[in-house]
Structure 1
Amino acid sequence: MNDRGEVAVVRWPGHDPSTEDGLAGLLAAYHLRTEAEKGEAVTGVEALPDRYRAEISDPRTAFVDDVVLTALDGNAAVGCLVLTAPADGRSEIKRLWTDPAHRGRGVASDLLHAALAYAAAGGASTVRLSVWAWRTGAISLYERFGFTVTESWDERERLVCMQRTL
């Protein structure tokens, strides 16, 4: 993942409860930050919408049909990404997040590489994603991976929809 090889990407963080708690922590940070960036800051996980709290409290159930990739530094979860199961030849990337203390080390890139490999192996011909327009760093990363802006499938304002053919 980086030049020191300290971080590994795994499909699920395993059955170690502390690692799974790390995944829940990453999902919580992702949702809390996103709500704050939308101007809807919440005081904690309990104030998030039900669907987000469900992901945080039980990611195995919330993403039962999906591939969840977790970047681990030792036993610590430092990044995550969800790849939906293919539908009509298309998978979707969701919840790409890297712990801010681990950014700039290739965590997100390695998660994306792994997700694209899983999508291709799972029979997807296209991978799509949506990203908030103000997340310009993320948009640049996706463009480096060959994603292009496409017609929106989501009506939320300031949401950029992108896709890549495999």
Structure 2
Amino acid sequence: MTDRREVVIVRWPGRSPSTAEGGLVELLAAYHLRTEAEKGEAVTDVDGLPDRYKAEVLDPRAAFVDDAVLVAMSGDTAVGCLVVTAPVGGRSEIKRLWTDPAYRGQGIGSGLVGAALAHCADSGVRTVRLSVWEWRADAVTLYERLGFTVTESWDERDQLVCMERTV
């Protein structure tokens, strides 16, 4: 089992180890494949993903060019990721929080969100928002524990919970 003290957060884009970037691709692929399966639209590989999600996996540097990507590393293994969108009007959005299932329950998700909030504070962001599928009850609980509250939806997709908090 991985000790929490071994997990470090790598901010990306920027100078990051190639293992972080390669691991990010794997984490994003797992995130999107699992999400599509949970929506009842299971696909067997990245090629079957909707184009916008496939683009994130195939070229995350281009997909998130203006955003901050955080990768949690345990040694040389990427074990979690999170994207923070570039601020617009004092607001950023957290997207793509994912922890490798083998590493869950070790504080990686909360560590990534904490690092994201610190990044937002450093960037002058006043409000952080996110959306999460209602069936991801563990994620909703995590976000609530970290101070996010449910807010009026800005997204019309059914079963999506929108949350926000001040920084």
TM-score (norm 1): 0.95
Which one-letter code corresponds to 1:6 in the other structure?
E
What secondary structure, in the 3-state scheme, does the structure 2 residue paired with 1:91 have? strand
SS of 2:5's partner is: coil
Q: Give the CA deviation at 1:120.
A: 1.0
Percent sequence identity is 68
* Structure-2 residue corresponding to 1:135: 136
2:9 matched to 1:19? Answer: no
Partner of 1:46: 47
Partner of 1:8: 8
The 2-side partners of 1:54 and 1:66 are apart by: 15
Deviation at 1:16, TM superposition (A): 3.7
Matched residue count? 165
Query: Which amino acid letter does the alignment assign opposite residue 92 of structure 1?
Result: E
Partner of residue 66, structure 1: 67
Deviations for 1:1-48, whole angstroms, at most 9, x for unmatched residues? x85511101102845434311110000000000000000101111000
One-letter code aligned to 1:102:
Y
CA contact (8 A) 2:4 2:107 kept: no
* Matched residue type, 2:6: E
Please state if 1:97 is matched with 2:123: no
Q: What is the identity, as a one-letter code, of the residue corresponding to 2:10?
A: V
Matches within 5 A, 1:112-151: 112-151=113-152
Unaligned segments of structure 1, at least 5 residues: none
User: Which residue does the alignment assign to 2:85?
Assistant: 84
Check conservation: 2:150, 2:163, Cα contact below 8 A: yes
CA contact (8 A) 2:20 2:71 kept: no
Amino acid aligned to 1:68:
V
| Pairwise CA RMSD | 1.4
3-state DSSP class of the match of 1:97?
strand
Q: Deviations over 1:46-94 (max 9, x none)?
A: 0001111111111111101001000001111100000001101100000
In 2, the alpha carbon distance for the partners of 1:51 and 1:9 equals 26
1:157 paired to 2:158: yes
Q: Provide the rounded CA distance (Å) in 2 between the counterparts of 1:130 and 1:11.
A: 22
C-alpha distance in 2 between matches for 1:109 and 1:3: 15
Task: Output the CA distance in 2 between the equivalents of 1:18 and 1:4.
Answer: 19
In structure 2, the gaps of 5 or more residues are none
Deviation (angstroms), 1:116? 0.2
Report the TM-score, using the length of structure 2 for normalisation.
Answer: 0.95
